[in-house]
Structure 1
Amino acid sequence: MTPPVVPVFLAFFTAQLAVETALLLLNLRHVARARGVPALLAGRVDEGTADRSRAYTLANGRFALIQEFFSAALTLAVLFSGLLPALDRALAGRGLAGAHLFVAYLVALSAGSALLALPFSLWHTFRLEARFGFNRTTPRLWVLDRVKGVVLQAAIGVPLLYAIYAFMRFTGALWWLWLFGFLVLVQVVLLWAYPTLIAPLFNRFEPLPDGELRARLERLAHDAGFRNRGLFVMDASRRSGHSNAYFTGLLRPRIVLFDTLVANMSVDEAASVLAHEIGHYRARHIHRRLALSLAGTLVVLFVLSRLVAWPPLYAAFGFDRPSLQAALTLVSLCGAPFVFWLSPLAARLSRRHEYEADRYAIRIARAPAALATALVRLNGENLSNLHPHPWYSAWHYSHPVLVERLAAIEAEASRAAAV
């Protein structure tokens, strides 16, 4: 009896598309009906900002809906049009075999996917983001970023694909364990290389100038016992008006502040944002998420090892014979519908980490009001959704909804004052 590969895949694929579409439409309807400013934000967010936030959320949501259906249609077309086996035969007909066929096949599919994504990137950057005053990227800079990205992907990705083929082909039945160990090593090397070798290809990083802000942030990091590789300002305003801050690195991270954040926040607000990020590191949230990501990679590799030699998988999508490149492609294209239900679990864990980092920030920076105003400012500057539907935010949001986060900050501040 032939296993029902296609019906099972289509059932999960349809379930994912239905759930994701329903949640997105529910959120769009909820936002479109919302009026005014949430009660907890009264006096903190003006009506004009709230109106622009709703308009930005609706525009992004409608754009995401178009992308979602295009991606779904493209996935089905690629899987059932015969394109994948035809590409395999065409490359083999040119004399490619073994590792060269494996790499050429995956590079060709990756290039095709990237080309189809370009119109969406152009529209989002130069129409949608520009409409709301966020885009500062010139066409020349946009093209340069893409060219640099392609060169970087080729420089890293092509040797990586050859290495993956070698592990899959020559390390025996436990190749998935050997490959996992190798990918962990690659991840560590990239985490080390990103801040000093990769990120500077796209942005300029300058030490935070001497002054009140630098002194406050250095004192805060010292009091928290947070070892780092320095405070840097990134020229984010070259591309966008969005504000943010982040750490980069695994053991002694760099502290990176967007220049838009430095320009718009008070010293206490910036210190609270930094204290929040330090809270993530002190609680080892970054390391836990990395561990979970690697565990997921290990599971995927194990599943792939079981499917590589399973003929029904290839027959279901038109392949004449099993191959490593076909196995990797089919798992990549077909895998998401089987694990999409994990999204709300990951989002819930992330939100819990955000609450923990906020509590740490209140203890170390001792400025809960500044943390609250910083979050309100960031949400306003980024036009984040003030009225998300509860189901949508529970499924997708990695950060708590602003009103819920502010309520938690006020409650923590009250507890700290009572001690």
Structure 2
Amino acid sequence: MPTLVVAVFLAFFAAEYAVETGLLLLNLRRARRSGDAVPAPLQGVVTPGSAARSRDYTLANGRLALVSGAWSAALTLAVLLSGLLPWLHQALAARGLAGAHRFVAFLVLVSAPFWVAGLPFALYRTFVLEARFGFNRTTPALWLKDRAKGLLLSAALGLPLLYAVYGFMALTGRAWWLWLAGFLTGVQILMVWLFPTLIAPLFNRFQPLPEGPLKERLEALARAARFRSRGLFVMDASRRSGHGNAYFTGFFRPRIVLFDTLVAQMTVPEAAAVLAHEIGHYQKRHVHRRLALGVAGQVVTLWALSLLVPWPPLYRAFGFAAPSYEAALALFSLGGGAFTFFLAPVASWLSRRHEYQADRYAVALVPEPGALASALVKLNRENLANLDPHPWYSAWHYSHPTLVERLRAIGEAGRPA
């Protein structure tokens, strides 16, 4: 049975790697063949020079993804199949660690190699790839400071959370997975509440949107949509990157955050259209629905984990002498994705469906025809998003429709019925 467990895992792991790598290679081949050609629906809207830079950026990111994906897959297999995990578990036991302390120490040490292995790729992406295309504005000192803050924040939040997870698994009986699901849902909601006021300011500065035509227009738009927020804020995203974006945070009265790069790039009607799109997400209850789906998925995941915790063949397959909560969680975390990766296109499809709905809401709310389309073209150009991804790749991975798809849908939404 242990041999069969390993064989099944390797089969699913290989399938995941083959599908992900194959889709990435298809997307890269399509980008290479496109040259500086502009897709027919975008001719006259996007210049050949912009299309060529978008293609080059897509190729650079794709090549990095190929290398990082291979490295991540190799590291995962090495950790799972080398005997490192049972050796580490025994070493901690030999030092007298047991119960919750061994649980936390084991999971932290298992995650450490993956965090360290990701640093060279993060460095390369920031200071080589992003810099080559004019996006990087961070300094080595600021980059290191961000990493140190992130590590300290992970320890401050993650260590108590791990102790709590152990408590639920060990002390609440056979239904521990239900208790734990309820607890984690509460933590998620708490983090959404804490993020804008306590966590995000650790990394960025947030200033109220200055008085002027933009603020007046956005506030009037929010009133017209009967949208109550906790204010309009500008984030100093330009300290680190030239990418532009905007987001909401919160469930009931969300805070609206605009990147300063976006404010600099957009006209007032275009910024209003972007805000209207985000309001559309809120008014259509997309955030709440995704939270509900996430909670449901979390319940199913923890239920599956509860079935594996007492199953001895799982542990013997990877060299453990006996079942343990920490071993089960480590094996599930490292290998579980291979059994669920095929759900990615379902999540992507749902996200794209929500984007279309938010776009239609924005077109109906903003009186200026073409404002949303113009804003999306600017965002695509300034972020060098892929103009013509392979349809299989975008169907699998894209949370947003492609620019061509969005412009087509916006045009249809704007036509009289």
Give, as a single letter, the amino acid of the residue that structure 2 aligns with 1:14.
A
> Using the alignment, how far apart are the partners of 1:403 and 1:188 within structure 2?
35
Rounded Cα–Cα distance in structure 2 between residues aligned with 1:360 and 1:368: 13
Conserved in 2, the CA contact under 8 Å of 1:247 and 1:255?
yes
The Cα offsets for residues 53-100 of structure 1, whole Å up to 9 and x where unpaired, read as: 000000000000001111111111000000000111111111111100
Identify which range, 207-216 or 102-111, moves more after superposition: 102-111
User: What is the alpha-carbon distance in structure 2 between the residues aligned to residue 91 and residue 131 of structure 1?
Assistant: 45
Give the corresponding residue for 1:154. Answer: 155
Partner of 1:54: 55
The answer (yes or no) to whether the contact 1:243–1:381 under 8 Å persists in 2 is yes
**Number of the residue aligned with 1:27:** 27
Aligned to 1:357: 358
CA drift at 1:24:
0.4
Q: Provide TM-score, normalisation by structure 2.
A: 0.98
Equivalent position of 1:9 in the other structure = 9
2:302 corresponds in structure 1 to: 301
1:270, distance to aligned residue in structure 2 (A): 0.1
User: In structure 1, what is the equivalent of residue 185 of structure 2?
Assistant: 184
One-letter code of the match for 1:60?
N
Cα contact 2:278–2:358 (8 A) shared by 1: yes
Instruction: Tell me the equivalent position of 2:102.
Output: 101
In the alignment, the residues of structure 2 paired with residue 113 and residue 74 of structure 1 have an alpha-carbon distance, to the nearest angstrom, of 8
- Give per-residue Cα distances to partners, 1:6-37, cap 9 Å, x unaligned: 11111111111111111000000001001311
Residues 1:106 and 1:370: Cα distance change in structure 2 (over 3 Å):
same
* Paired position in structure 2 for 1:173: 174
For 1:190 and 1:3, the matched residues in 2 are separated by 41
Counterpart in the other structure of 1:205: 206
- 1:395 matched residue in structure 2: 396
- For the residue of structure 2 that corresponds to 1:393, the secondary structure is helix
Structure 2: how far apart are the matches of 1:64 and 1:332? 21
8 Å Cα contact 2:2-2:316 kept in structure 1 = no
Could you tell me the TM-score, scaled by structure 1's length?
A: 0.98
Residue type at the aligned position of 2:151: V
**Shift in Å, 1:2:** 5.6
Instruction: Establish whether residue 37 from structure 1 lines up as the match of residue 12 from structure 2.
Output: no
5+ long unaligned stretches in structure 2: none
Long gaps (5+) in structure 1: none
Q: Residues 228-251 of structure 1: CA distance to partner in whole angstroms, max 9, x if unpaired?
A: 000000000000000000001111
Q: 1:49 to 1:369 in 2, by over 3 A?
A: same
> Separation in 1 of the partners of 2:398 and 2:391?
10
Does the CA contact (< 8 Å) of 2:86 and 2:320 recur in 1? yes
Structure 2 residue 375 is the aligned partner of structure 1 residue 366 = no
Number of residue equivalences: 416
Instruction: Name the counterpart of 2:91.
Output: 90
Partner of 2:146: 145
Cα distance in 2 for partners of 1:190, 1:40 equals 42
- Partner of 2:370: helix, strand, or coil? helix
| Mapping of residues 188-337 of structure 1, within 5 Å | 188-337=189-338
What is the letter of the counterpart of residue 26 of structure 2?
A: L
Q: Does residue 115 of the first structure (1) align with residue 116 of the second (2)? A: yes
AA paired with 1:321?
A: A
Q: CA deviation at 1:3?
A: 7.1
Q: State whether residues 308 and 322 of structure 1, in contact with CA within 8 Å, keep that contact through their aligned partners in structure 2.
A: yes
**Is the 2:137–2:241 Cα contact (8 Å) retained in structure 1?**
yes
Aligned counterparts of 1:366 and 1:69: Cα–Cα separation in 2? 49
Contact 1:276–1:360 under 8 Å retained in 2: yes
**Identity of matched residues, %:** 67
Pair 168,47 (structure 1): closer, same or farther in 2 beyond 3 Å: same
Counterpart secondary structure, 1:232: strand
**8 A Cα contact 1:368 1:409, kept in partner:** no
RMSD of aligned Cα (Å): 0.9
Matched with 1:63 is 64
The answer on whether the counterparts of 2:209 and 2:215 sit within 8 Å (CA) in structure 1 is yes
